[in-house]
A and B are shown apart, each in its own frame.
Chain A
Amino acid sequence: MRKRVRISWPSQLILFSLFLLVRCAGSQDTLQKNIVIRWKNNQAMGLSMALGQFEAHSKETLPELLKVQLANSKTAILGDYSILRDSVIFEPLIPFTPGLQYEVLLENRLVGEIDIPQAVPSTTLIGIYPSQDTLPENLLKFYFVFSRPMREGRSLAYVSLLNAKGDTLPGTFLNLQPELWNAEKTVLTLWLDPGRIKRDLQPNKSLGAPLTKGNHYTLVVSERWPDELGAGLTQSYTKRFVAATRDMTSPDVKSWTIKIPSKGTTQALEIHVKEALDYVLLQNTIRIIDARGKIINGVIQISNKEHLVDFIPASPWLAGAYKVLVESRLEDLAGNNLNRLFDRDITDRRTKPSQQTVFELNYRID
C-alpha cells in the first residue's frame, strides 16, 4: 500500500505553478490538469496522471502503454507504475532533475510535457574549520559545514587554495572517492594530501608540503558548489590564513584547565584545551562521568576558535566527584592524537606511541 504524499503549502504553491507549466500536446485544457508532479522534500519524486484522460484503456494495461522520457530522448525512464485512486502514478528510480523537460507518451503518442523548475540557491556554508587564521604548516584537514545536504562526488572542483599572489595551488587536497561526508551530507572532511605532509615520502620529496610557514593563503569556496537539489550556494566564501610552525607534539590533556560549575545549576563545565583541536573530534571524544561511572547526559559546544569546550548538562549538577574522559583518537590540527604523532620518527625514542585509549581529568563539585 502506497503512502499518500502530504503536500505542504509552499509545495502546493509550486505545484500550482507547475500546473501552468504542464503543457499538453493533445486537446488543450483537459490534459493540462491531468499530469501533476509529486513532490517530497523539494524533490520531484514522481508524476500523478488522472486516469480519466486514458479512458479508452483499461488501467491494468496502462503501465505497458505509458512511457516517460526526457525531451529529445527515446529511452523510457526506469520506474514503477501504480494505481492510486483515480490516478496512475509513475515513480522514477531517481527524482526528476531540476531544469530538465520530460515527456509522457501513451502508445508512443505524446500526451504531456513537464518542466521541472530549477532549484533556487538557498544553501549556505555555515563554517570552515579550523576557524583560526593561523594554522600549522602541517595542517591535515578542513571541515566544511553546510546548512543543507550537498551533492557528493565532485567537491574538489569547488574548493581551491590560493597563494598570496592569488595563484591556485594544484594538488593541495587529496581526491578521495568516496568523499568523506557525514551521513546527512552536511559536513565534508577534506584532507590536505597526506602523502605531501608525511616526511620523506615521495610526494613530500617531489612536491613539498602543501603549506609553508610564513606564507599567506586564501581558501576559496565557489558559489557554484551544488547542493543535493542541484542549486548552488547563496554566495561564494573565502577564508584567509597564514601558515605557522609545524606542530610536532601530541595534545596534552594534563595541560588543560577546567572551570568548575556551581552545584544545583546547569552552568557549563568549561574545558580550556590550550591549543586549537579538531572541531569534529572535540564533539565526539569527550564524555563526563560521575563517581559511579554513569555518563552525564548533556550537550557539547565548541567555541573560542576550537580552544574551549563547554559541556552543558541536561540536569543540574549534583555535588560529588566527576571525571572528564577523553578518547585517545582526539587530534590536533596536524593529525597528532593523544597517543601518537601523525608522522613519527621511529629513531626518536621520546615519541614512542602509548597504548592508552582513554585519558582522564578529575574535578569535584561541592
Chain B
Amino acid sequence: MKKMFLSVAAALSVAVLVAYTNRTASVLSGFETGTPEVKSMNALAFGPEGVLFIGDSKSASVFAVDTKDAENVANAKPVDIKNIDQKIAALLGTEAKNITIQDLAVNPISKKVYCAVQAANGTPVLFKIDGENIQPVSLKDVKFALVSLNNAPAEDAKDQRGRPLRVWAISDLNYADGKVMVSGLSNQEFGSTFRSIPFPFTNKQEQSSLEIYHAAHGQYETNSPIKTFTTAELNGKKFLVASYTCTPLVLFPIDDLKPGTHVKGRTVGEFGAGNSPLDIITMKKGNDLFLIMANSDRPVMKIKYKDIETYEGSLTEPIKENYSTAGVPYVSFPMVNVLQLDKLDDTQFVFLQRRANGDLDIRTSNNRSL
C-alpha cells in the first residue's frame, strides 16, 4: 500500500512538474517589489508584458519596471499636445526652460506614450500620456528588476581615495528578441560601448561588451560611439542598424555581436556633415518596411529596407562635395527639428518636435506620409 502511495505521489509530482515547465513563465516572475533608486532616465524602451526599461546613466543601470499597463489596444488614438513642455512644467510647478524631455517610448500593448523628464536639479520624473491626459507614473512600491552596466567591480573599484568614477552615459536603449541592448559613451576615454543583456535579467555576467569600429572609406579606422540604433531583419538575417555621433549609418549582423569581439560595421550611408542622428524607428506600409531617422541638423529621413538589402557595398570613396550624402537613397520628410520618435501602432508614429515658433509639441504622423 505504501509502495502504491509512493508511486502515485511520484506520478503526481512528475505531472505537476511537467505542467509547471510547460506553462510559459512570466518575465515578471523574478521581479522584486519596492522603490527602485532611479537617479536619471536617459532612455526608455518597452519589453514584453508592459515592462518598461529605464536606462539610468547616473547609476549605470538598466531598470525593468512592471507598469501594470498591459491592456491591449489595437489602434491608438493620435496624440497631439501643443506646448507639452509647458504643460509638464506647470504640473511640476516650474517653467519649461527648467525641464528637459529625455525620451519618449510607446507601450506597444496599451499604446500609451511614456515620457522621461529631467528637472533642472537632475530629478527624473516619469509621465504617461493618454490622449490629452498627462499623468505622473510613480515608481514607489512597484515590481522591478535591475542590471548594472558597470564592468566587473574590480575594474572600477574606488580603491584609491579621490579616484573619479567613470560614468556610462546611455545614448540609446532597445529591446528585441529577449535582449536589452544599450549603447553608451564614457565620460573618460573615447570609445564605444554596446551591451546586449539577456532579459529576464540573471545574476550571471552574460552581457556582451563590444568594441565597435568605424572604417572610413576603407582607409581609416576609429572607435565609434553609437548615438542611436534599432534592429532590423534584412534578407532574412537580423541586423543592428546603428548611427554614429558623426552620422554614418552602419549595419552589424546580430550573430557577430559576441562578447569581447572587435566588430567592424558596414557603412551603408552618410547623411551629411554637421549633423547628428537623434532617433531611429521602423515603420511599415503595405509590404514595405522603412527606417525613419530623426536628425539634429537635417529633416526626418525615410530609408527603404529594400534599398538597404540591395546595397551590397560599403562606402569606400570619400564624398567629394561639401554636405552631400552617399550610400543608400533616402527621402527627406518636410519635418524638421524632430527630437524624439516612436512607433505608436502599425500605422502611426509619435514625435516630439520643436516648431518654428519655438513651441515644443508632441504630434502623430500616419503612414500616409510614408
Q: Which residues of A contact B (CB under 8 A)?
A: 43, 68-70, 73, 75-79, 92-97, 100, 102, 140-141, 149, 151-153, 171, 174-183, 185, 187, 189, 191, 193-196, 198-203, 205-207, 226, 228-230, 278, 280-281, 283-284, 287, 295, 297-300, 329, 331, 335, 337, 342-347
The verdict on A176 contacting B90 (CB below 8 Å), with A280-B164, A344-B220 known, is no
B296 touches A175 (CB 8 A): yes
**Residue contact B136 to A78, C-beta cutoff 8 Å:** yes
Query: In the complex, are the beta carbons of B92 and A93 less than 8 A apart?
Result: yes
B166 and A284: CB pair below 8 A?
yes
B98, B167, B221: which contacts A180 (Cβ < 8 A)?
Answer: B167
| Pairs of residues from A and B, 5 with the lowest C-beta to C-beta distance, nearest first | A195-B246, A77-B93, A206-B273, A203-B273, A94-B119
Interface membership of chain B positions 165-198, coded 1 if the CB is closer than 8 angstroms to chain A and 0 otherwise: 1110111000000000000011111110000000
Q: Are B92 and A299 within 8 A (Cβ)?
A: no
| A-B pairs with beta carbons under 8 Å apart, 14 shown | A93-B125, A93-B136, A174-B245, A182-B187, A183-B165, A198-B220, A200-B216, A207-B274, A230-B98, A230-B120, A281-B188, A284-B164, A329-B191, A331-B190
Enumerate B90-114 residues with CB–CB distance to A below 8 Å. Answer: 90-95, 98, 100, 102
In whole angstroms, what is the CA distance A278 to B187 when docked? 12
- Besides A75-B87, A342-B223, 4 more A-B contacts (Cβ < 8 Å) are A178-B169, A198-B222, A230-B120, A278-B189
Asked if B160 is at the interface (CB within 8 A of a chain A CB), the reply is yes
Residues of B close to A228: CB separation below 8 A:
120-122
Residues of A within 8 Å of B170, CB to CB, are 178
Residue numbers in B under 8 Å from A280 (CB-CB)? 164, 187-188
Closest Cβ–Cβ distance, residue B115 to chain A (whole Å): 14
By the criterion CB–CB under 8 Å, are A331 and B189 in contact? yes
Establish whether residues A174 and B102, one from each chain, have CB atoms under 8 Å apart when the complex forms: no
A194 touches B95 (CB 8 A): no
B273 touches A94 (CB 8 A): no
B102–A178 touching, CB < 8 Å: yes
B58 in contact (CB, < 8 A):
yes
Q: Tell me if A151 and B120 are in contact (CB < 8 A).
A: yes
Interface membership of B367, Cβ < 8 A: no
Q: Are B160 and A298 in contact (CB under 8 A)?
A: yes
CB distance from B149 to the nearest CB of A (A): 13
Q: What residues on A are CB-neighbors of B223 within 8 Å? A: 342
* A283-B246 contact, Cβ under 8 Å, with A70-B93, A152-B118, A199-B216: no
B274 / chain A contacts, CB cutoff of 8 Å: 171, 203, 206-207
- With an 8 Å Cβ cutoff, the count of chain B residues facing the other chain is 67
- The answer to the question of B353 belonging to the interface, with a C-beta cut-off of 8 Å to chain A, is no
- A153 touching B273 by the CB < 8 A rule? no
**Smallest CB-CB separation from B161: which chain A residue?**
A299
The reply to whether A75 and B219 contact each other, CB–CB distance below 8 Å, is: no
Inter-chain contact B219/A97, CB cutoff 8 Å: no
Partner of A283, one of B95, B164, B217, B245: B164
B42 interface residue, CB < 8 Å from A? yes
Does chain A have a CB within 8 A of B123? Answer: yes
Residues of A within 8 A of B221 (CB): 343-344, 346
Q: Which residues of B contact A (CB under 8 A)?
A: 40, 42, 57-58, 87, 90-95, 98, 100, 102, 118-123, 125, 136, 159-167, 169-171, 185-191, 214-223, 244-248, 270, 272-274, 276, 296, 318-319, 322-323, 326
From B87, B95, B159, B189, contact of A281 by CB (8 A)? B189
Q: Which residues of A contact B222 (CB under 8 A)?
A: 194, 198, 342-344
Nearest chain A CB to B328's CB is how many angstroms away? 15
Report the minimum CB–CB distance from A55 to chain B (whole Å): 27
Cα distance, A47 to B198, chains bound together (Å): 44
A196 to B42, CA, bound (A): 26
Residue of B93, B95, B164, B191 most packed against chain A (CB within 10 A): B93
What is the bound-complex CA distance between A342 and B296, given in angstroms?
A: 25
- C-alpha gap A284/B163 in the complex (Å): 6
In the complex, what distance in Å separates the CA atom of A343 from the CA atom of B319? 18
Instruction: Tell me which residues across on chain B come within 8 A of A345, comparing CB atoms.
Output: 219-220
Q: Is the CB of B318 within 8 A of A205?
A: yes
Contact for B95 among A92, A100, A191, A344, CB less than 8 A: A100
Contact B92 A77 (CB under 8 A): yes
What residues of chain B lie closer than 8 Å to A97, measured between beta carbons? 93-95, 98, 120
Q: In the complex, what residue of chain B is closest to A69 when comparing beta carbons? A: B93
Q: Are B42 and A178 in contact (CB under 8 A)?
A: yes
Nearest Cβ on chain B to A246's Cβ, whole angstroms = 13
Q: Return the chain A residue nearest B271 by Cβ.
A: A202
How distant is B47 from chain A, measured CB to nearest CB, in Å? 22
CB-CB under 8 A for A153 and B118, given A195-B273, A329-B189? yes
In angstroms, how far is the closest chain A Cβ from the Cβ of B189?
A: 4
Residues of A within 8 A of B272 (CB): 202
* CB-based contact A205/B276 at 8 Å: no
Are B188 and A183 in contact, with the CB atoms below 8 A? no
When C-beta atoms are compared, the residue in chain B nearest to A73 turns out to be B90
CA distance A280 to B165 in the complex (A): 10
Is the pair A300, B98 in contact by a Cβ cutoff of 8 Å? no
Check A300 against B136 for contact (C-beta < 8 Å).
Answer: no
Is the pair A95, B216 in contact by a Cβ cutoff of 8 Å? no
Residues of B within 8 A of A182 (CB): 164-165, 167, 187
